[in-house]
Amino acid sequence: MSDCLFCKILDGEIPSEAVAENDHAYAFRDVAPQAPTHVLVIPRRHEPDIGSLVEADPDAAAGVLRLAKQVADDAEGSYRLVFNTGADAHQMVFHCHAHVLAGRSMGWPPG
């Protein structure tokens, strides 16, 4: 989509700090990190959220999860994997994305 921030990152129109990638997904550092490790994992296919992605392309959804696991394994230790879905859940970019958070103790409940 021409106005999607994450599509522009995938197209190279907006720079990002790459962490890892696979055939279905791309991982890059969040510009406003909420933990010492805060990496976003986005599918190459534009879908608004994880529910839409898994219905439209289960292989892409699995690719996002595989890449998120790789990023988390590289961070070592405990981590949190978050998919915000919808405005009330504070999703700000409506292109499916996972947040991999690690490197500090996480509280519960998260919100």
Query: Which structural domains are found in the chain, ordered by start?
Result: 5-102 (3.30.428.10)
What is the DSSP code (8-state) at residue 11?
T
Tokens of 24: 């279905």
Catalytic status, residue 97: yes
Distance separating alpha carbons of residues 34 and 42, to the nearest angstrom:
18
Q: Binning pLDDT at 50, 70 and 90, where does residue 109 land?
A: confident
pLDDT score, position 2:
76
Which candidate in 24, 38, 95, 97 is catalytic?
Answer: 97
pLDDT at 111 over 70: no
Evaluate whether 13 touches 68 at the Cβ level (below 8 Å): no
Residue 43: which of 15, 64, 67 has the closest Cα? 64
